[in-house]
Amino acid sequence: MSTDDAHITARVEALEELLAEKGLLDRAAVDRVIDHFTVNYGPLNGAKVVARAWIDDEYRKRLLANGTKAIAELGFGGPEAAHLTVVENTSSVHNVVVCTLCSCYPWAVLGLPPGWYKSAEYRSRMVATPRAVLTEMGLAVSADVAVRVWDSSAETRYLVLPMRPSGTGDMTEGELAELVTRDSMIGVAVAHDPGR
């Protein structure tokens, strides 16, 4: 944890303590909200969507045609996913998502947005120099692969369908879901290689 993160965490804990002492905050209610967003609205939901698309080509087609309707088949949805568009990474195209105006984000399948996603630096630089930003984030995209940047908005939010890692042909849907990360569904990473 960085010094800035530690400072923010300490401030949040102090504020929570003060509000609880004054009877203005129920800690159990806070824990329930956090659990809701980490369990019911988390990246695990998106990972399940991706894994299903990897094993079921008909589902993948429905997902790419109407993301909102397809994720509803698995029980996911809500206002932040009402207009969900899914873009697919291929051997020739790498997709990445940004929200240049704010932090529009499909919470139902990705959970809470990471701090870097909301930062002005990410929002501006990803549009201007996507390859450089991806490289800085640990993902080098080959020069022969096109990088497409999708700008989320209140009207349309995006989810990246990452490429299925090679050597996963015998894996179950549940095992495949474990290879999918939030960052791979934003497009700043790829799905985990099961061999590593």
Active site residue 103: yes
Token pair in block for residue 169: 């042909």
2, 91, 92, 104: the catalytic one is 104
Any known ligand binding at 99? yes
Active site residue 99: yes
Active site residue 153: no
CA 87 to each of CA 18, 43, 97, 163: distance values in angstroms, whole numbers, following the listed order: 45, 17, 10, 11
Exposed e or buried b for every residue in 186-196, given b needs 16+ CB within 10 A? bbbbbbeeeee
2, 91, 92, 99: the catalytic one is 99
Any known ligand binding at 92? no
Instruction: Name all contacts of 88-93 with Cβ < 8 Å and 24+ positions apart.
Output: 88/60, 88/64, 88/160, 88/161, 89/160, 89/161, 89/162, 89/163, 89/187, 89/190, 90/163, 91/145, 91/163, 92/144, 92/145, 92/146, 93/145, 93/146, 93/147, 93/148
91, 102, 142, 152: the catalytic one is 102
Any known ligand binding at 103? yes
Active site residue 142: no
91, 103, 142, 153: the catalytic one is 103
Any known ligand binding at 104? yes
User: Which residues does the annotation place in the binding site for Fe(3+)?
Assistant: 99, 102-104
User: Which residues does the annotation place in the binding site?
Assistant: 99, 102-104
Q: Which residues are catalytic?
A: 99, 102-104
